[in-house]
Structure 1
Amino acid sequence: MSDSMHSAQTLRNPATNPATTDTMQAYDNALYRKVAWRLLPFLMACYIAAFLDRVNVGFAKLQMLDQLKFSDTIYGLGAGIFFIGYFLFEVPSNVLMHRIGAKKTLARIMILWACISACMALTKTPTQFYILRFLLGAAEAGFYPGIILYLTYWFPSHRRGQVIAVFMTAVPFAGILGGPLSGWIMESLHDHHGFAGWQWMFLIEAIPSIVLGLAVLWYLDDRITDARWLDTAEKNRLAHNIAAEKTTKVDHVSLLTLFRDRRVIHMALICYCTVSSLSGLAFWIPSVIRSTGVVSLLDVGLLTAIPNACAVVSMILVCRHSDRTRERRWHMVIPFLVGGVGLTLSTLFSHNPTFAVAMLSVAAAGCMVCSPLFWSLPTAFLEGRSAAAGIAAINSFAGLAAFASPYAIGWIKDLTGSTDWGMYFLASFTVIGALLVLRVPATLVNR
């Protein structure tokens, strides 16, 4: 009998074939690496496409505002109104996904939002801008929390921090790839065949979402039992590890009871602070870099890749350490405060591109770590239908921050003529978030 078959049989029958802790750990580590390599690269590609279509309006702003005569307040409202549609449709989408499966839900979401994103190229008036952004949010609702929910089907909570962190490196990777790509498209294709560069950007960057949306239908498996790339022993072990956690989690309760749960409300407030800092960075980094005196759109795109690259390294290292030590709170508190310091200092060096990008890198490295670590908190006590609704409800509430922050920064910039006070506004949420995390009982989430 081969070593792998012996290990599998031992794990299926621990009473008759006792395995050492080291053997079980080694088997699990190899198994979860296999699952991660199967799921994460594809899910990351999907999220890169999603995030690119969500925030490429930040690059479009550098051309479309002058061409369409939009103010920064109009842009901020349009950038943020995306999350009103997101807020209204997120919980129903996630509950539906729990019933019908990830394949149908994610494919529908991706293809629909790609078509709407392409239609952004036809924007002429503020009203059209607002409507398309709202519809884009409604179409994408449920995608991110749906994937978070999907990962809970495969990975136990003590492995989920690093897994979600690796998945969420798709956000900075979207910046690394999307920044230079968006800048290049807008410069090289401007006025090509009568379309402005920002219009070409919306059209071209919608294509990957359509392709990946179709690929979801044949690549993903809804549940562990559906995975043809796993043998029976592997399926049993994965299912056993997930089932072992269910006795400590909230499962089938009414939605009203769930939304009244103080733990869920507390998590929603933390997520609000996390999203406030992230959304501000995502939508305004190109403008902040442009304000330092960088003229070329391609150069702006290349410089935005630097903070995102720093965030990738930070997310992987911090979340890996958090999983290894099974400690969540201080691994969030310190990055929150580091992110706030970076946002604040970026304003002090706003006339020096080198130092401004350096401080934005510090801000991105801190703020972006908080999001994957955050989702280790509520998924430590939510399960099943409660997880589906709870994750979506928390993320929906946080979506209000994603609406409010870009709008507030745009309004502040129109009022003061500078993004400095907008950065201070974002930094305040990192401090509030750190304080809220400290109030979470360690026994609830440190597993």
Structure 2
Amino acid sequence: MPPSTVPLATTDASPSLGDPYSAREADTTFRKITWRLLPFLFVSFVVSQIDRTNIAFAKLQFMHDLGLNDAAYGLGASMFLLGYILFEVPSNLYIQKVGARATLMRIMLLWGIASVAMSTVRTPMGLYVMRFLLGVAEAGFFPGVMLYLSQWFPDARRGRITSVFLMSVVLSGMVGGPLAGYIMTAFAGAHGLAGWQVLFVYEGLPAIALGVVAYFVLADSPEQAAWLTPRERAIVADALRQKRSQATPGHGLRLALRDPRVYIAGFVYFAIFAGLNTLGYWLPSVLREIAASDLVTVGLLSTIPYCVSLIAMYACSRHSDSRRERRWHIAVALCVAAGGFAFVAHGDGSRVPVMLSLTCAMAASFSALSVFWTIPPVYLTGPTVASGIAMISSIGGVAAFLSPILVGWVKTRTGSFSLAFDALAVLLLAGTVVLLRGIPAHALRETSRSGSPGQG
């Protein structure tokens, strides 16, 4: 049989058409799926990231209003992750029972309402409570989408799809900073609210609208997608057939809790997310110290690291897909990120070197993140996948919870970010070692369509 055609396999989960399909036909099918799902998920995650990190810009105004110091702000920022972590695994298990459409709709509606309610905060305790509730509302969104994408795209295509989805995080940073600076400056006093209160209201409303749209845009699985033809559904099922054939009976959560692979991958994600989360919540404060005092300028400067990250993560994930190699792409990126944090900690504080170092740290961290999320669906198998992905995300959430608290504490005690950035550099290097020693290349190999194994 010519290499350009693939025999359509018979599976219980899909119709069998018998006739072979070409690589071009498969590309057309997955391109159709991409354009149906990715734009909506992309926009949704942009809004998600803006709503969870706009507190970094609101901080520049509400510190005085709420009587906070840097340590208290760090705790408030982290309370989001506490709620997120506690409810993440149950939310990801729930998505398997009721489907992606209902689950993602529920998450978007609730986090939009919670984000708007942030405008009512009047005390430090109120900040802690509302951030916790925002985390509860948004719990399960990211791992749920990762699981959802794994049910539509095979591993060979998932790297680029994942990177495109994760570019929404970068885009949120690119638009979120200038948008926050503009809203807080231009609309201060609107509706009788302070600028930071208007920010929470205006940026929370889009999530509520997206929750309604989700019901009409998403399908729970390829088999239920009325916008795919029977042949297209069969092509998708065939592409996913090998992964499904690896499933084994058992209880997913119980197996995941006993699976050391979950904790190995979780530590790597812990290291990646600690660096990214620190930059997400503290970048505006660092920029205000070294570069500017007005909100609009801080917002504009904050876009520079995100713009570079957008290019870097796509290039890294594309190269990773073309080589079918994951581990070393992540390892090199983690080392570059560690170097960036270390240089900020030990540099002379000059504006340009600090900006370059922060940009390298962020771009490398995002590159590692985009490739990392191609590993769990392949590294884990059978019923462990859904629970394992949620647990890995939760372990990363622990890093996201601890990092703002520790950075805020260090900044309050020492007046500098240096010690905190040193610790992040060491953590990223430790993540590199665990990745290369704990996740063997052979564990990431899948048989390609030509019959040759992919590389890890």
Structure-1 residue corresponding to 2:228: 230
Structure-1 residue corresponding to 2:315: 317
Give the share of equivalent positions with the same residue, in percent.
38
Q: Distance in 2 between matches of 1:120 and 1:17?
A: 56
Pairing of 1:196-211 with structure 2 (within 5 A): 196-211=194-209
Structure-2 residue corresponding to 1:264: 262
Structure-2 residue corresponding to 1:422: 420
Shift of 1:45: 0.4
Query: Relative to structure 1, is the Cα distance of residues 270 and 16 closer, same or farther in structure 2, using a 3 angstrom cutoff?
Result: closer
| Larger displacement relative to structure 2 (241-250 or 410-419) | 241-250
Query: Relative to structure 1, is the Cα distance of residues 25 and 190 closer, same or farther in structure 2, using a 3 angstrom cutoff?
Result: same
C-alpha contact 2:70 2:409 (8 A) present in aligned 1:
yes
Structure-2 residue corresponding to 1:115: 113
Shift of 1:30: 2.5
Q: Distance in 1 between matches of 2:117 and 2:170?
A: 25
Instruction: Name the aligned partner's letter for residue 210 of structure 1.
Output: I
Pairing of 1:240-389 with structure 2 (within 5 A): 240-248=238-246, 252-348=250-346, 351-383=349-381, 385-389=383-387
Instruction: Name the aligned partner's letter for residue 441 of structure 1.
Output: P
Query: Relative to structure 1, is the Cα distance of residues 292 and 10 closer, same or farther in structure 2, using a 3 angstrom cutoff?
Result: same
C-alpha contact 1:55 1:282 (8 A) present in aligned 2:
yes
Shift of 1:18: 6.0
Counterpart among 97, 100, 120 of residue 98 in structure 2: 100
CA distances 1:341-374 after superposition (whole Å, capped 9, x unpaired) = 1222234557433332222111111001122211
CA distances 1:397-422 after superposition (whole Å, capped 9, x unpaired) = 22111000000000000011012222
Number of paired residues?
437
CA distances 1:176-211 after superposition (whole Å, capped 9, x unpaired) = 111100011111122334321111100100011111
Structure-2 residue corresponding to 1:4: none
C-alpha contact 1:273 1:430 (8 A) present in aligned 2:
yes
Structure-1 residue corresponding to 2:38: 40
1:445 correspondence with 2:436: no
| Larger displacement relative to structure 2 (313-322 or 247-256) | 247-256
Instruction: Name the aligned partner's letter for residue 94 of structure 1.
Output: N
Q: Distance in 1 between matches of 2:379 and 2:314?
A: 24
| Larger displacement relative to structure 2 (245-254 or 361-370) | 245-254
| Larger displacement relative to structure 2 (216-225 or 374-383) | 374-383
| Larger displacement relative to structure 2 (214-223 or 429-438) | 429-438
- The DSSP-based 3-state class of the residue aligned with 1:124 is coil
C-alpha contact 2:252 2:387 (8 A) present in aligned 1:
no
| Larger displacement relative to structure 2 (199-208 or 384-393) | 384-393
Instruction: Name the aligned partner's letter for residue 442 of structure 2.
Output: T
C-alpha contact 2:5 2:20 (8 A) present in aligned 1:
no
Query: Relative to structure 1, is the Cα distance of residues 249 and 429 closer, same or farther in structure 2, using a 3 angstrom cutoff?
Result: farther
Shift of 1:251: 5.9
Q: Distance in 2 between matches of 1:205 and 1:252?
A: 42
Instruction: Name the aligned partner's letter for residue 445 of structure 1.
Output: L
Query: Relative to structure 1, is the Cα distance of residues 100 and 385 closer, same or farther in structure 2, using a 3 angstrom cutoff?
Result: farther
Shift of 1:339: 1.1
Pairing of 1:213-224 with structure 2 (within 5 A): 213-224=211-222
Structure-2 residue corresponding to 1:27: 25
The gaps in structure 1 that reach 5 residues or longer are: 1-6
Q: Distance in 1 between matches of 2:62 and 2:350?
A: 26
Q: Distance in 1 between matches of 2:19 and 2:235?
A: 15
Instruction: Name the aligned partner's letter for residue 107 of structure 2.
Output: I
C-alpha contact 2:246 2:382 (8 A) present in aligned 1:
no
- The DSSP-based 3-state class of the residue aligned with 2:284 is helix
Structure-2 residue corresponding to 1:174: 172
Query: Relative to structure 1, is the Cα distance of residues 11 and 395 closer, same or farther in structure 2, using a 3 angstrom cutoff?
Result: same
Q: Distance in 2 between matches of 1:57 and 1:261?
A: 36
C-alpha contact 1:95 1:385 (8 A) present in aligned 2:
no
Query: Relative to structure 1, is the Cα distance of residues 15 and 195 closer, same or farther in structure 2, using a 3 angstrom cutoff?
Result: closer
Instruction: Name the aligned partner's letter for residue 442 of structure 1.
Output: A
Structure-2 residue corresponding to 1:84: 82
Shift of 1:279: 0.6
Q: Distance in 2 between matches of 1:9 and 1:344?
A: 50
Q: Distance in 2 between matches of 1:248 and 1:314?
A: 33
Shift of 1:381: 3.5
Instruction: Name the aligned partner's letter for residue 444 of structure 1.
Output: A
Query: Relative to structure 1, is the Cα distance of residues 96 and 15 closer, same or farther in structure 2, using a 3 angstrom cutoff?
Result: closer
| Larger displacement relative to structure 2 (401-410 or 222-231) | 222-231
Shift of 1:382: 3.2
Structure-1 residue corresponding to 2:63: 65
- The DSSP-based 3-state class of the residue aligned with 2:302 is helix
Query: Relative to structure 1, is the Cα distance of residues 251 and 39 closer, same or farther in structure 2, using a 3 angstrom cutoff?
Result: farther
- The DSSP-based 3-state class of the residue aligned with 2:153 is coil
The gaps in structure 2 that reach 5 residues or longer are: 11-15, 446-453
C-alpha contact 2:5 2:23 (8 A) present in aligned 1:
no
Query: Relative to structure 1, is the Cα distance of residues 105 and 243 closer, same or farther in structure 2, using a 3 angstrom cutoff?
Result: same
Shift of 1:8: 9.4
Instruction: Name the aligned partner's letter for residue 194 of structure 2.
Output: A
Query: Relative to structure 1, is the Cα distance of residues 426 and 11 closer, same or farther in structure 2, using a 3 angstrom cutoff?
Result: same
